Structures are given as structure tokens and as C-alpha cells.
Structure 1
Amino acid sequence: MRWQILRVVGLTVLGIGLLAGFILLMVRSGPLAPVRVTLATVERGTFENAVFGVGTVDAERSYAIGPTVPGRVLAVHADVGGMVRAGQLLAEMDPVELDARLSASRAASARAVHALEAARAQVRDAEVRQALAGRNARRYASLGEQAFFSDAAVEAKRQEADSAGAQLQAVRAQLDAARMDVERLEAERVAVERQRANVRLVAPVAGVVTARDAEPGTTLVAGQTVLRMVDPASVRVRTRIDQGRAGSVRAGQAASIVLRSRPGLALPGRVSRVELNGDAVTEERIVQVVFDEVPQDFAFGELAEVTIATTRGADVLAVPGAAVHDRGGRRGVWTVADGAAAFVPVRTGETALDGRVVVLDGLQAGDRVVVHSARELEAGDRVSPTESLVAVKR
């Protein structure tokens, strides 16, 4: 009898223990357990927003140096990486027959000048003859009226005067033609001189040679490049920015440039221009960013990471982006009060690169919001704040 009583008591105690353990398990880690969450305190402070993009280093002003007529490269006097000054001789083309054409053109121009002088002398002679013939005709006409000369003699002198006038018109026309010949031959001479000058390829501006596309002896067509150069003062980063974030980018904004060859060095710069054209395929917009001080060691075509500071606020409420949720068509955050979760609708603004979101309305400084939770929250759920949701194994 005693053994049966002890057995009943033992089983009762065991059942009570199991039930207590089950209840404790349900309360601590089961459906009735509080949801483990990480919290953040809403604070007022400085908010800096920026946009990020990847670009390539290039130059806005680049120059392709080459001949305007077909020819053979005679000499190249510059090499890649060399600094050149404006007007410096970079390369020469073989002039072939241009020197002979230039000599012939100069001789023809000089001959035309002499012919012009001869035409002017003929005009002066014809003017003198016409004046003399006119005076004789008038004298004969006067004396003919007094019957000193016959009508035939008077008529002959009048014809001589008319003939002298016609000769004057002819030599004046020849003078005009000689003047036109001088102008034509002078224009031809200038054209040949320009063609001769074009075989000397000179630097249009001070800059640096970036490519050498031809060597002496190479035959080129008109417009083909011998050398390429850029103006170092126009070096910039052609940056691609996501169109969804490019609306806040303006000329003059500060930028930070990290070249691929210098991953640990951020170079200061600024936005010089926002291009009007965008890329519909990649949904990006082109932004030109210039260096405050152009680095000495860089490569054209080098990739660069660009961060552009767009906005800055001194007294702004911001929360981590992970704390903002869309629930029932409303945007809001989960707050904690008296150990329970409550959904609070908020009006948000910009999102920074670090993930923080500006809160325009709905929260106050000091409010505690849920950043991460072990499961999806419901209004009134009990929560248990923790430093991290990841269990640390020891």
C-alpha cells in the first residue's frame, strides 16, 4: 500500500515538472515567447546624403593630329606621354611635289604683277593718246567751221578721237583682267602655301600625347591620325549615376573620387556638368566630375568610383532603412512601449548611402524603433530587446 502511494506521488511530481517545463518552454521559446528584436533610438543630428557612381577618366578636349590630304609620313617628333607646347612641331608629311608647285605659283604670281604694271602703263599711254586725239578733233572742228579744213579732214580727226577712246576702254579692260589674274594667282599661291604648311603637323594647344598611330614611311589617307593628344586642364571623370538618384545632382556639388589605381586615396573634386542625355538601356545619367587638383599619375580610361555629396541637414530625424516597413498600404515603423510592439505610420524623405532614411513626420527624438525582428511582428506582440539576433556559439 505504501509503495503504491509513493508511486502515485512520484508520477504526480513528474507530471507537474513536465507540465512546468512545457509551460516554461512555451513562454521562453515557443509561440508565447516574446519576439527577440534589435532596437535603435531615434535621434536628431546631421544628415548627409550622397549618390554613388562609377566612371572613367577622360579629357573633354582631345585632339587627333593628322594630314588633310593623302601622303606619306616623313618624320614623327613626339612620343606617347610627352608634354608638348602650343605650336610645337609634332610630325611631318612628305611634301612630294608641293615645293615645286609652290615655286611655280610664286613665279606665276610675280609674272602677273608685272603684267599688271604693263597694263597700267598701257592705260596711261592710251589716256594720253585719247586726250591728244580729242584736242585735235576739237581744233579741226573749229577751223572747219571757218572753212580752213574740209569736212573730210574734220571727220577723219573725229574718227581718230573715237578710235583713241575705244583703245582706252580696251586697255582698261586689260588692266582689270590683269588685276583679276593677280588676285587669282595670289589666291592659288596662298592655297599652295597652306597645303605646304599642312604637311607640318603642329600642336594646337599645350598638352600631352596619348597615342602614336603612325610611324615614318606609313602612307595615310586624308583625316587619318598620326598622333593623339589631350589638354590636361580638361581631365575629368565621366560618371554614370542611377537615374533614380540623379535628380538631386547639381553642378558645383562636392565629390570624392577614388581611382582604381589608388584604392585607398580619395581625391576631392566637384560636379562640372550634368549631361542632358541619359542612357535608356542602363537607366543611368552622365555626370561630368572634375578634380580640384589633377593627379600626376593616372591613366585615361581608368575606372574611378565617384561619391557626390547632394544634401546636408543639421537637425534631421533619421532611422535605419531596415526599420521602415510597408504595412496595409501605409509606410511606418515598429515602436516599443511597455514591452509591446506598435506600428506607427511615418512620412519619410531621402535615403542616404549608409541606409538611413529621413523621417519627416510621425516620430520624435528618443523614440525606440525595431530594426530587426526574429519573426514578422503583429500589433501588441511582446518583444525582447537584444544586441543581435544571431546566436553566438562558444
Structure 2
Amino acid sequence: MRSLTIKKTVSGAVAVVALLAVGVAAGLWWERNQAPGGGTETPADAAPGGPAVLYWYDPMYPTQKFDKPGKSPFMDMQLVPKYADEGGDDASVKISPGVSQNLGVRLATVTRATLDSKVTATGIVDFNERDVAIVQARSGGFVERVARLAPNDVIGSGAFIAELLVPEWAALQEEYLALKALGDPALEEAARARMRLGGMPESLIREVATSGRIRNRIAITAPRGGVIQSLDVRPGMTLMAGQTLARINGIGTVWLDVAVPESQAGAVRVGQSAEVAFAAFPGKPVQGRVTALLPVLNDARALRVRVELPNQDGRLRPGLSAQVSLTGSGGESALRVPTEAVIRTGRRALVIVTEAEGRYRPVEVILGPESGNDTVILSGLDEGQTIVASGQFLIDSEASLQGIVARGAGSAVAMPAPLALHEADAVIDEVSDDSVTLSHGPFKTLSMPGMTMEFALARPELAKGLKAGDRVRAGVRETDDGLVIEKLDKTGGTQ
């Protein structure tokens, strides 16, 4: 009886095992025949029936691609999948028309036109230093009378300044009159020449010859109208020959000293027209002309440009400030886009180009000068392309989140100087020709804590002679592709 019970128990166990085996086999068959792709396991990040995964990437290093999911070798985080999208590629971002409208996306066209420069700057009115008269005593004498004048007074041409008594002229004039009475033309002309050499003006010589009287006093008058900048004559003074009495600066024309920002200095040329607006005379602009580009920048690192202005009515006085618009045509055609369409990151400039089916692609460009509301494009775009003029920052942010890198604009133009290196102490874990894995301390200038991660080498020779376990001082540089090793200096022995 007991033997029969044991046999039944064993038979039951065998039956259970057999049923389990059949169930497992059926499950495997079902998985092979029902899984997508003929038995290929669907990634955890992809929905069944959804787009295929192109690759996985670390959002902190979007240009580094991986063929399978897992943990990022750079940061302590899981890799993110990049899905395929019909009608596009992995270098552009697709946005539906509704979302584009909500973002306020406004488009513009890359155009080619003649480069007309317009520079707006500020200026200060100054004297025209070419319109200066120096009043001097041609002979030594005594100052008997001086006009009631003072520096900064405005006088007209021929205005009386001072009267001088010149004793030497009396003897010269008496000699001339005596020789003239003899009736010898040669002697008379010789006496006239001596009076000229004595500093007597021709008008005074003619007056003595006509009247026959001694005139040893002379009135000093202004040779031109303007502002008295200096007046160094007083009644009773004794003057030497050639001594300066006054300095007069004409005000028929004035100079405008314009400070043009260094970034716009290349757009200014001699001969350009200038429209000058003064706050003191609203609605009454003055037209002038650029006459000189001074060779030295001012203290604010701005180019000093000299503009000459007419001042017939004398209302433009030195010290007045003005807004200046300098216009000119370079005669060259150039590609241009609205300035608002350009994204400046500090190290490069981007423009968002539109493509078919609602796709947008960031493109790196090389910028030229600004012309009005437009910016010249030296490289990166073609005439007729459609670009985003408003809302481009949100599209660029979306492209960055998706790991899209802007297409380069060419290498014909010199790139900016490399940024300063960020340094930390580290130990080499693994080294190859193009990369190195470091267990590094904190990069304080990056606010980056210490960790173990792989870095790309800027040059293979940086790792020459180094091996795993070596202690080094690492210097990294920030690039669009992540951190790149620029320096590996061995600091000690091997760990």
C-alpha cells in the first residue's frame, strides 16, 4: 500500500515537471514569434510600434554617440535614446506648424545687396585749428592804447586791438622824405625799401609818401574775424619785434570731434557725408564732411573722426555736443540678414535655417559689419535661403537638448583665441592615442566636483610617456564637443 502511494507521488511530480517544461517551451516560442523585428528585444526607451532608436547619447556630451543603452561614461546618469524621424536627419529639429506659431516664429530671407555703411556716434564741437591768425608786433615799440577786449570775445575782421608807438620809424620816414625831395627816383626807392625792412606796412608807407608827414604810430587790427583765444597786450607795455599780441581763431567753419566705436571704425572713410543733429537746435540738422581719421584712439578705445561743419551764422560754439550719422557706400555687394536673426554665443554666431516639412537647422556663420538693421554674412549661408528672424532662441535650445550640433561655416577665417584652461590634479586610469580616463579632483573654475571620466585629447603627443597610475596636473578647455585635454603634466610617481 505504501509502495503504491510512493509510485503515485512520483508519477504526479513527473507530470508537473512535464507541464512546466511544456509551458516554458511555449513561452519561448511565443516570444520569438511575437517580439518586434523577428525576436529582437525592444529597447526599454522605445515604445512598441514607434520610431527606431538611431543611437544613445549623454545630454552633457551630445556629439558622443553610443550603439546601445547603459550608463554614461562621462557623468553618473543613463544614456538617452535618439529616435529616427521620417523626412529629416539627426542635424535638424522638427517643429509642427502649430508649435511654430505659438513660439512666434517669424521668417526672413538671405539677400544680397550693395553694402551701405551707416555709423551713428557722438561728437563735440571744437575750433578749426587751420583757421588761426597770430597778431604780432613787427617792430619794437611802446603800447599806448588797447581796445576793451578780453579772451573769448568775438570780434570781426579789421577790429582795432591796440596802438603802438615805434620810435625807429620816425628816423626812417624822415630819411625817406628828405631823399624824395631831392627828386632822385633810385634814392627814393632805396628809402622805401628801408621802411619796409623796418616793419612798416605798405599802407603806412603810401600814407607818408602822400601826406609828407611823419607817422610813427600804428593801429594793430584783427586780420580776420573770430574768437580771441589769447590777448597778451596792455597799455604801457614795451614790445620786442615779433612779440605776440593776440591769437584769433576763426569760426566760419568748426570741427566736430566724433568718437566712433572701435568695432565700426572700418566703415568710416574720408569724404563721407555727415548729418549732425544738435540738442540746442532741434529739427535743424547741419550737413558736414569727414576730413580726417586721426591716428590715435581716445581713452575709450574709440576712433577719433574729424568732421568739418559750416558755421556762417556763428551759432556752433566749441563744446556743443551732437549726434552724428556717417553714411557712405562701399560699392560692394554682400549677403545680409536681419541683425535680430543672429544668435551670438560668445564663441561663435548661429543662424537657424528653415527646411522642408517644418525642419530647422542651426548653421554657424562668420559675421561681417552691420549695415543699418542688417548684418553682413561672410560665410555659412547662401542667397535666397529662408532663416528664422524671431523665435530662433527657443529653436536653438531645442536643438541643443536633442544633441544637434551646428554645421561649421568654414575655416578660411581665423577663429577666436582659445579660452583659458581649467586645471585639477588627477590620476590616469586608462590612456589611448586619442583619449584618457582620469580620476580627477574638482575643477574649481568650472564648479565641477571630482569624479572619474574620459576626456578627449587635443593632440596625441600629450599622453606620450604616460601610463595608468601616473599622477598628473590636467588642463582642460571647454569646446562645443565637451571638455578637451590640452595639458597633462606629470607631477609625481605612480599610484
1:192 has 2:210 as partner? no
- Inter-partner Cα distance in structure 1 for 2:369 and 2:397: 25
Aligned to 1:373: 393
Aligned to 1:65: 135
2:156 is aligned, of 79, 84, 87, to 84
How is 1:167-182 mapped onto 2 (pairs within 5 angstroms)? none
1:54 is aligned, of 122, 127, 133, to 122
- In structure 2, do the counterparts of structure 1 residues 210 and 339 end up closer, same or farther at CA, with 3 Å as the change threshold? farther
Give the TM-score normalised by the residue count of structure 2: 0.44
Aligned to 2:39: none
Deviations 1:160-185 (A, max 9, x none): xxxxxxxxxxxxxxxxxx98xx95x7
- In structure 2, do the counterparts of structure 1 residues 330 and 298 end up closer, same or farther at CA, with 3 Å as the change threshold? closer
Aligned to 2:169: 102
Deviations 1:193-237 (A, max 9, x none): 5288995323334x33455746863748664444624050x3332
1:254 has 2:320 as partner? no
CA contact (8 A) 1:316 1:358 kept: yes
Higher normalized helix content (fraction of residues): 1
- Inter-partner Cα distance in structure 2 for 1:305 and 1:379: 42
- Inter-partner Cα distance in structure 2 for 1:296 and 1:231: 6
1:310 is aligned, of 328, 336, 340, to 328
Shift of the alpha carbon at 1:266? 3.0
- In structure 2, do the counterparts of structure 1 residues 282 and 317 end up closer, same or farther at CA, with 3 Å as the change threshold? closer
Deviations 1:109-144 (A, max 9, x none): 566789998xxxxxxxxxxxxxxxxxxxxxxxxxxx
Instruction: Indicate the structure (1 or 2) with the bigger Cα radius of gyration.
Output: 1
- In structure 2, give the amino acid aligned to 1:49: S
How is 1:1-394 mapped onto 2 (pairs within 5 angstroms)? 39-43=105-109, 44=111, 48-57=116-125, 58-59=127-128, 60-67=130-137, 69=140, 71-72=142-143, 74-76=145-147, 84-85=156-157, 88-95=158-165, 98=166, 100-108=167-175, 187-194=193-200, 199-205=218-224, 207-211=225-229, 213=231, 217=235, 219=237, 223-226=243-246, 228-232=248-252, 234-271=253-290, 273-275=291-293, 277-279=295-297, 281-291=299-309, 297-311=315-329, 317-321=336-340, 323-325=342-344, 331-335=349-353, 341-352=360-371, 354=373, 356-360=374-378, 362-363=381-382, 364-370=384-390, 373=393, 377-379=397-399
Give the TM-score normalised by the residue count of structure 1: 0.54
CA contact (8 A) 2:353 2:385 kept: no
Shift of the alpha carbon at 1:309? 0.9
Aligned to 2:67: none
Where does structure 1 lack aligned partners over 5 or more consecutive residues?
1-32, 118-177, 383-394
- In structure 1, give the amino acid aligned to 2:226: V
CA contact (8 A) 2:251 2:314 kept: no
- Inter-partner Cα distance in structure 1 for 2:248 and 2:351: 58
- In structure 2, do the counterparts of structure 1 residues 240 and 368 end up closer, same or farther at CA, with 3 Å as the change threshold? closer
- In structure 2, do the counterparts of structure 1 residues 189 and 269 end up closer, same or farther at CA, with 3 Å as the change threshold? closer
SS at match of 1:277: coil
CA contact (8 A) 1:235 1:294 kept: no
- In structure 2, do the counterparts of structure 1 residues 285 and 194 end up closer, same or farther at CA, with 3 Å as the change threshold? farther
Where does structure 2 lack aligned partners over 5 or more consecutive residues?
1-94, 202-214, 403-495
Deviations 1:12-50 (A, max 9, x none): xxxxxxxxxxxxxxxxxxxxx989855442234877431
Q: Provide the aligned C-alpha RMSD in A.
A: 4.6
- In structure 1, give the amino acid aligned to 2:162: E
- Inter-partner Cα distance in structure 1 for 2:370 and 2:182: 84
- Inter-partner Cα distance in structure 2 for 1:293 and 1:227: 20
Aligned to 1:388: none
- Inter-partner Cα distance in structure 1 for 2:343 and 2:194: 78
Whose relative contact order is higher, 1 or 2, with alpha carbons under 8 Å and at least 6 apart?
Answer: 1
